[in-house]
Amino acid sequence: MIIGMGVVEELFSLRGRAALVTGGSSGIGYAMAEAIALAGARTVLLARREPELKAAAERIGQQGGEAHWVVADVADRTRLAEAADEAVRLVGEIDILINCAGVNPRPPLGTQTLADYDEILAPNLAGPFQLGQRFGPRMAERGWGRIVNVGSQQSVSAFGDSGVYGVAKAGLAGLTRSQAEA
């Protein structure tokens, strides 16, 4: 049996859905935001740099997708809460949350301080937790939602000079399992 493109498009359509993609202005985050928007979701890109966000949203718009943008650092809890509310004002309640933003400084583990630890965990683990807490329960109430936390090989394997990042990504893997169960 041959399946026509209309059937494929319908199977993978995200029309009527709203998405938020952190780290959406470049790299893997941008690629995910682009695919989601081109599948029909009203999409909000969230990142720290306005020029890159604006350009990314424009590229998606030129291809026929709907993309908005919000400037925020996922490590800033107050601003992240405001940005989440702003995203909802732009596209409606979020159905798809992609946590892709992160940082990976590489000083030797023995030289990292508690301040370094906090600075690395904030965007890589605390931000995804905060956004999951904001949007996950509402997804569950509506009976539909997706949270995608972008991990790393370091979730399961240690890499040299990347210790706290590995801790954050291992924690993110655990958070993902907990969010799925909830």
The predicted-structure confidence for 126-154, as pLDDT tens digits, reads as follows: 999 999 999 999 999 999 999 999 987 66
d(Cα 17, Cα 144) in Å, to the nearest integer?
A: 10
The predicted-structure confidence for 7-34, as pLDDT tens digits, reads as follows: 666 778 999 999 999 999 999 999 999 9
The predicted-structure confidence for 60-89, as pLDDT tens digits, reads as follows: 999 999 999 999 999 999 999 999 999 999
d(Cα 42, Cα 131) in Å, to the nearest integer?
A: 18
Would you kindly state where each structural domain of the chain is located, as residue ranges?
Answer: 15-181
> pTM for the complete prediction?
0.91
Q: State the angle between helix axes of 114-121 and 163-181 in degrees (0 to 180), rounded to the nearest 10.
A: 40
The predicted-structure confidence for 90-125, as pLDDT tens digits, reads as follows: 999 999 999 999 988 888 888 889 999 999 999 999
The residues assigned a catalytic role are 165
Compute the mean pLDDT over every residue in the chain, rounded to the nearest whole number: 91
The pLDDT value given to residue 104? 87
What is the fold, at CATH topology level, of the domain defined by 15-181?
Rossmann fold (3.40.50)
DSSP state of 125: I
3-state secondary structure 24-80: CCCHHHHHHHHHHHHCCCEEEEEECCHHHHHHHHHHHHHCCCEEEEEECCCCCHHHH
Is the pLDDT confidence value at 1 over 50? no
Q: Residue 3 in contact with residue 26, Cβ under 8 Å?
A: no
